[in-house]
Amino acid sequence: MSDMSIPGVKSKYDTEKMIEDLMKVERIPRDKAAEELKAYEVSKTVWLDVNMRLSAVRESARILFSFRNPFSERVAKSSNEDALTGTATREAVEQTKSILVKQTADADRFLSDRLPKDTKVPAGDYAFAVGDKTVSLKYGGGSLADFSDALTRKGKDVVRAQVIPVTSDTLTIVVESLKTGSKNRLSFRADAEPWAVSVGLIEKTSSSRREIPVSESSIKPLEKPLDRTLVTVRDGTLVVAPGGEARLPLQPPVQSAGLVLEYRVRAKSRPDDGGIPQAPAGPDIPPTGSVTYKGVTIQSSPSAADLPEWKPPEIPPRVDDPNVFSLMDGSGRSVPLPPVSDSESFVTVTVRLADYARDFSGIAARNRNTHREVEVRDIRVFDPNESGGFKPKNPIGTARDAIVVMDGIEVVREGNDIPDLIPGVTIHLHEQADKPVKLRIEPDRETVKTSIIEMIGNYNRIMAEINVLTRDDPKVLEEIAYLTDDEKTKYKDRQGMFQGDLTLSQLRSSLQKTMMDAYPTGSGQALLAQTGISTNASNQGGGYEPSKLRGYLEIDEKALEAALLNDFVRVRELFAFDTDGDLISDAGVAFRLDATIKPYVETGGIISAKTRTLDSRMTEQKRRIEDMDKQLARKEDELKRKYGLMEGALNQMESASTAIENFGNQNSK
């Protein structure tokens, strides 16, 4: 049985190996075609990678001269970021503002008394008002924590509550407004009012509000007799002309603790007379008359008056004194109030009385200015914590406006984010400051530097790609220190692949020339090297290094930062410059780099043409391989058929030989 052979299935003549050996020879053209196809595929992949690298360079260059270029970005830098910061837009103008944060905006936050842990909130209709918004909560009764959660869910961005465990047996609840500003006071309505009183959030109080009337009868002299020509009343407003002084008393005086003084003031400058007074015309002398006789008139000589030589009076010195108003305490002592500044409209001034005196008996005005008229009205004293006959029993925060002084002008806003004070800048207030804070609006140099570094980095990557593809020198790969292990392996396989390729050689030369050329700016020609970007930035004056000649650029960050700080406009013009005044960049490193790369990467460009050619070759090669595969399959089938027939014939011959041998053996016996 071991000698049994079935033609085409099992061969004792090892025809399978014979066929395979023959087919290996037949497959040589097909294998070469497959290798060529793989080479085409690799070439296409490489060109696509080159296209990707070039597109990255072009995009980073376009960023530097497009409409949204980083040179137009602005940043607000604060000299005291704990007090205020700023966010600037591209529309902001470079400038420096002096801002004093007198007061930040705050919201009402009320703390209850300590309550037993098992305190319950009765069912009812609870209402909480913040400014002109009201939150209504229909509550079915429950624990303090459950009520707090329900109010927070219902209150959303208006009001919220929080339960704080104080000890293992007691807790408190905090109810707070989520809107800042003096107009957004937190008040309790419906069933919320008696509940708030019961838990110690608020308590009843008698109003401490006191108005200081402004009328002809309420004005009193200060130190010298009252001059009604300099101190007048118009529509409830006290008007104090230059040189005037007066006081408005409050009777009886009040204790300052917990009270604030609020008044509205306006200062207006009068035109400066300036010029030297003209000499007086002298006495008016009547004519002396004439006499007429027989038609002849004789005129009398005019009278004359000898006048002394006129000397103009000395012009009084100009006086600018913003300290016009002062606070009077119970003993008659005066304490200066905040200085005034010129304004077209009335400005509200709010001060805490306790910061000035223990008690308050009125307000005084003394106008020492020679050219400024000052007005004051709506003077009142009140407790800012009071609301509707109630005041917080344990206030954590009190609703108040933000008050800042910018360039001598006091500004009041409801919130701590002020977007309308400096065009293009939003000011963010954080805390009160004792000294003015300098807010400097300037170009965002850090973003510009990052964009430049990104462009140079992309440029170096494409130069590395070109050097590896066009030079079969291991040192080229060794010089690129930033490659990962996978990238090194990939580049090692590709090294020298496009040696002699004119497209890449010309591209490399064009890129190098673009980065080395001088470009026009508003102050003359400029080079990248003047900003710390060159082929040898890290080794100025050093010896010869082959790697420095391969087109890579280095960045001296300190030199770049210095150029951006001291010559920002020239750096911007170096990368993108409008030479013909049409507001469109037509020169500069970034503009030229974009123009150099564009023919290579645009649709239908140089690289696109190369990949299309490779696609055509790959399609043709795949068709050839398919045809070869069919031919090889037919060839293999033919060989198997022929060798099968040969094996059959051999087996028949062997069978016949065996039969003859057996027949001979039988006859011999």
Q: State pLDDT tens for residues 302-338.
A: 777 677 777 777 777 888 888 999 999 888 888 999 8
Token pair, residue 624, equals 């050839």
Q: What are phi and psi of 244, to 5 degrees?
A: -85, 155
Question: Does residue 8 have a pLDDT over 50?
Answer: no
Residue 592 clears pLDDT 80, i.e. is over it:
yes
Residue that the structure tokens 């077209």 belong to: 344
Q: What is the pLDDT of residue 599?
A: 95
**What's the whole-number average pLDDT of the chain?**
87
Is cis: bond before 252, omega within 30 of 0? Answer: yes
pTM here?
A: 0.69
Q: Which residue has the tokens 């306006």?
A: 266
Phi/psi class of residue 156: alpha, beta or left (left: φ > 0; alpha: ψ in -120 to 50)? left
pLDDT per residue as tens digits for the range 158-214: 999 999 999 999 999 999 999 999 889 999 999 999 999 999 998 887 667 788 889
Residue 412 structure tokens: 């009041």
CA–CA dist 571, 590 (Å, integer)? 11
A 10 A CB-CB count for 24 gives 10
Instruction: State yes or no: pLDDT of 576 exceeds 80.
Output: yes
End-to-end Cα distance, the chain:
27
pLDDT at 207: 67
Cβ-in-10-Å burial (0-12, 13-18, 19+) of 547 comes to middle
The confidence band for 1, taking pLDDT boundaries of 50, 70 and 90, is: very low
3-state SS, residue 515: helix
CB 213 within 8 A of CB 220: no
Which pLDDT does position 13 carry in this prediction? 65
Q: Give the separation between CA 260 and CA 256, rounded to whole angstroms.
A: 8
Domains contained in the chain, CATH given: 109-204 (no CATH), 210-272+318-387+400-442 (2.60.120.430), 446-600 (no CATH)
Structure tokens at 291: 């006499």
Q: What is the DSSP string of 30-96?
A: HHHHHHHHHHHHHHHHHHHHHHHHHHHHHHHHHHTTSTT-GGG-EEEEES-TTTEEEEE-TTPPSEE
Query: CA 19 to CA 641: how far, in whole Å?
Result: 11
Confidence of residue 17 (pLDDT cuts 50, 70, 90): confident
Q: What is the pLDDT of residues 624-661, one digit of tens each?
A: 989 988 888 888 888 888 877 887 787 788 788 887 87
What whole-number distance in Å separates Cα of residue 614 and Cα of residue 619? 8
> Bigger pLDDT: 260 or 294?
260
Please spell the DSSP secondary structure of 176-225, one letter per residue: EES--STT--EEEEETHHHHHHHTTSEEE-----EEE--STTT-B--SS-
Query: Which of the four pLDDT bands, split at 50, 70 and 90, describes residue 277?
Result: low
pLDDT tens, residue by residue, 93-115: 999 999 999 999 999 999 999 99
Residue 192 pLDDT: 92
Q: For 545-575, what is each residue's pLDDT tens digit?
A: 555 667 889 999 999 999 999 999 999 999 9
The letter for the amino acid at 648 is G
Q: Phi/psi of residue 503, each to 5°?
A: -60, -50
What is the average pLDDT across 391-399?
88
Buried b (16+ CB within 10 A) or exposed e, 640-651: eeebbeebeeeb
Q: Does position 616 have pLDDT exceeding 90, yes or no?
A: yes
